[in-house]
Amino acid sequence: MKTQAVAADPRAKIIVALDLPARADALALVRALSPHPGLFKIGLQLFIAAGPDIVRAVRDLGSRVFLDLKLHDIPNTVGHGVESASSLGVEMLTLHLTGGRTMIEAAVAAAPAELLLLGVTILTSSDDDTLRETGVTDTVENQVARLVKLGVAAGLRGFVASPHELQTLRRAHGSEIQIVTPGIRPVGAQPNDQRRATTPKEALAAGADYLVIGRPITGAPDPRAALEQIVTDVV
């Protein structure tokens, strides 16, 4: 499975988020950054705008796809959703761990071996105040640890967690799990709506397997140059 070992090339650790409004914009960016040994993330905005065909189109350009739909529904629906996503040939797929153990197990049962399911912990736009608004009185760090423990028990081996929880998760689970880390901002970049962010180099040093980077690349005047600068900064 390609995603079980991260190559020595730092570019292979970078997942470029195609958080763009239209198919043409996304494919133009993929072409501009290719060949890119990492993955391209297709999330809700692009998937809703362009449909499943955008996955096929990105793959037809020779690129690998991380489908970030954050599935969260009854177990039967999530299981069938995993089956549909895997038929598109994606390599990573997200689901919300707050869906509970039965839902997670349904997803795991439906996933082929070549698909890395990623359990989403707490969004990087959230903090302790956000949790309290939804009735969770614990800290973000403790809640992330609790959710990852639940996911591991249900059969998951991949997780999405912010840079701030990386060291805690590595101490608890070592190399047993793979961690995809959003909330990545190069030195000097605007945080935007990220509340728990850090630099690419710091995230890798803390134990991230993959970095999700969107606006610092996609919003740059020269996305290729921005990507290469990030690679230079982490070497």
Q: Extract the tokens encoding 200.
A: 């690419």
The residue annotated as part of the active site, out of 2, 13, 41, 70, is 70
**DSSP label at 99?**
G
For 48-82, give the secondary structure using H, E and C. HHHCCHHHHHHHHCCCEEEEEEEECCCHHHHHHHH
70 counts as catalytic? yes
d(CA 25, CA 182): 22
Nearest to 136 by CA among 125, 124, 146: 146
d(CA 133, CA 130): 5
Q: Extract the tokens encoding 219.
A: 């919003």
Q: Which residues are catalytic?
A: 70
